[in-house]
Amino acid sequence: MLRVKSATEISVDDNPATLENLPNMLSEARQKFPGRSVALQADREAPFGVVVKVLDSLKAAGLKDIPAFTQPDNPQK
C-alpha cells in the first residue's frame, strides 16, 4: 500500500518515504515482490501536486494500472 497523507507524509507499506527516495523504494519493492500489486491511497489533506508526483514515481518504477482511492465522506447526522 502506497499512502499519501500530506505533502510530507508518504509511506510504502507503513515505511516512511519521501518524493526523492520513492522511485528507488518502489523499484526495490517491485524486484523483491514481482507479482505484487500496488494500491494508492491519498488522504483528503494530500495536495494534488504531490499525488501527481507520486503517480510519476510509480510510472518511473514501471508500475501501471494503479488503483487509487480516498477515504469516503463521513455522513452527517
Q: 17 has which bridge partners?
A: 10
Average pLDDT for 2-27: 92
For the chain, the domains span 2-69
For 44-68, what is the mean pLDDT? 88
Q: How many CA atoms lie within 13 A of 74 on its CB side?
A: 3
Parallel, antiparallel or unpaired: strands 40-42 and 10-12: unpaired
Confidence (pLDDT) at 71: 63
pLDDT at 45 over 60: yes
Q: What is the CATH number of domain 2-69?
A: 3.30.420.270
State the chain's mean pLDDT as an integer: 86
* Residue ranges in the chain assigned as alpha helix (H): 22-32, 48-60
- The single residue listed with the C-alpha cell 522511485 is 23
